[in-house]
Amino acid sequence: MSTFQAPKGTYDLIPPDSAKFLAVREAISAPLRDSGYGYIETPGFENVELFARGVGESTDIVTKEMYTLTTKGGDQLALRPEGTASVLRAALEANLHKAGNLPVKLWYSGSYYRYERPQKGRYRHFSQVGAEAIGTEDPVLDAELIILADQAYRSLGLQQFRILLNSLGDRECRPVYREALQTFLRDLDLDEETRRRIEINPLRVLDDKRADVQKQLTDAPRLRDYLCDACKAYHEEVRALLTAAGVVYEDDEKLVRGLDYYTRTTFEFVHDGLGSQSAVGGGGRYDGLSEMIGGPALPSVGWALGVDRTVLALEAEGVELDLPVTTSVYAVPLGDEARRALFTVVTELRRAGVAADFAFGGRGLKGAMKSANRSGARYTLVAGERDLAEGVVQLKDMESGEQAAVGLADVVAELKTRLG
């Protein structure tokens, strides 16, 4: 065992479990790639001010959870706690919005960092796949992203997730609701930290998970009663598009998400098999974020889905993923001459697109065959001096146990035929 361990609240992805994470990333990104979203990758750290402005100075992410550092040059940086602000910053810096083809549709995958209390489903280092559609205000775009996330989850075999949907209004109607909500909240029995939140971002009080707080919110003013006609029409169109596409959702008037930049459409994917940490992903529209970080007005919408939480959801449902084969053929040489001959065969198999591995280190037949079993190989190739003298190798079917001698010059073609 090493002297060192992974930092508290983090995890290492190691085989075979890491294959699940790769499969989830692939399943989530596949519908995006098929729908015009291009891949983007941003640095693991950004200027602290980017997140303070974009995510919101009142959020727990900025006030409590960001990992910050000061460089030798005096710059204040933060490990990225979320992806949207970084992606939008990169798109603005590269002037992608000026190319004349809006919306700019991007997807990304990576690790994110928040200093949280570690528990199952909530880590200080976590993995997400996200998508952003930048520069267009269109309910069809909101619906598209929700439908693509739903498609991704269903392609994985998930069934027991729910989609929560709400509208947060816009800069015209939300201030009126904000004032009404503040007036209501100020009369409640709340702790000092929550009272401070009332003055900064009262909508986030609605998202408080504590039972004693939720009990007092029963008669809170409802945002839908304050939506302007334009926001009502926009939200109804999103709902109609989802219904027409056969996507089931639930209206949730208290859904506000944890980031300040959301406007109008907001949504969350939850899975009841995960306990208190039920959210597996979510997102929404953020029409004013570009201006918050110094860019032009660029109405946008996006989401991020947690890879680790999706894996937990799959495990909760007992879904077994159809993972790609890592080894189809395992070569076991007996002697130096066989090592050279079989390594040449393995190299040819790999060039032909066959997943092949090799018994390294000069192990004996018994130990090498145990390794072949552990690798899950469908076939093994065994050769010793006598086999090579006859110009053959022994090809064994690991499922049936049948074994046959195959010409050394023919073994690649034979295996390609058997493996289809």
Beta 379-383 vs 329-333: how paired, if at all? parallel
Angle, CA 20 vertex, CA 16 and CA 26 arms, to 5°: 135
Report the distance separating Cα 211 and Cα 267, nearest Å. 22
Would you say 218 is a known binding-site residue?
A: no
Would you say 160 is a known binding-site residue?
A: no
Would you say 89 is a known binding-site residue?
A: no
CA proximity to 206, closest of 164, 162, 252, 243: 252
Grouping H, G, I as helix, E, B as strand and the rest as coil, residue 161 is strand
Grouping H, G, I as helix, E, B as strand and the rest as coil, residue 288 is coil
Would you say 330 is a known binding-site residue?
A: no
* C-alpha of 233 from chain center: 31
Would you say 268 is a known binding-site residue?
A: no
DSSP assignment of 336-350 equals: HHHHHHHHHHHHHHH
Would you say 257 is a known binding-site residue?
A: yes
Report the distance separating Cα 386 and Cα 400, nearest Å. 25
- Is residue 277 within 8 A of residue 120, CB to CB? The reply is yes
Would you say 128 is a known binding-site residue?
A: yes
Cis-peptide, bond into residue 333, ω within 30° of zero: no
Grouping H, G, I as helix, E, B as strand and the rest as coil, residue 224 is helix
Would you say 117 is a known binding-site residue?
A: no
CA proximity to 96, closest of 71, 133, 46: 133
Would you say 363 is a known binding-site residue?
A: no
| Cβ neighbours of 271 (radius 10 Å) | 25
For the chain, the first-to-last Cα distance in angstroms comes to 42
The binding site consists of 82-84, 114, 128, 132, 257, 261-262
The binding site for L-histidine consists of 82-84, 114, 128, 132, 257, 261-262
